[in-house]
Amino acid sequence: MTASPIHPREIDHVVLRVRDIERMRRFYCEILGCRVEREQAKIGLTQLRAGRSLIDLLVVSGSPGAEGRNMDHVCLRIEPFDAAAISAFLKANGVDPGEVALRYGAEGSGPSLYLADPEGNTVELKGPPAG
């Protein structure tokens, strides 16, 4: 097996599925010391700054997660981020890499891709901010 081109630097962000966004925002901000960084009301998303990382609160209807999970996904910040090498490595190891696209994370917008771990949890691999 070839060496992995994937080198996690840290957790960039975690996305939690929530039913009561105001209650969760108050808990994470007033109790745990986070602060609101961005809100995207159109999609029900509040992004909280937690040091160098983000905790995203995503409103869902009914019970969290179709599979009964509260976590939507975890994002790992990868450095260096060579999208072609990472995708090739994942494919060679039977993992389906998603499309590479610019997405917002703890450091701003940058390239990322999604994949599923063996138990179906979604993992985002994120590169450095663009520009």
**pLDDT block averages, 10 residues each, the chain of length 131:** 89 91 91 93 93 92 66 92 94 93 95 88 92 75
pLDDT of residue 12: 95
**Which pair of tokens denotes residue 102?**
């610019």
- Characterize the bridge pairing of strands 8-18 and 53-59: parallel
pLDDT at residue 55, as a whole number: 93
pTM of the predicted model over 0.95:
no
- Identify the pLDDT of residue 65: 62
The pLDDT value recorded for residue 131 is: 75
Which segments of the chain are extended strands (E)? Answer: 8-18, 35-40, 45-50, 53-59, 71-78, 101-105, 108-116, 122-126
Q: Are the beta carbons of 75 and 114 closer than 8 angstroms? A: no
Q: Are 95 and 88 in contact (CB under 8 A)?
A: no
Domains by residue range for the chain, with CATH: 8-126 (3.10.180.10)
Question: Residue 32 has what pLDDT?
Answer: 86
pLDDT for residue 22: 92
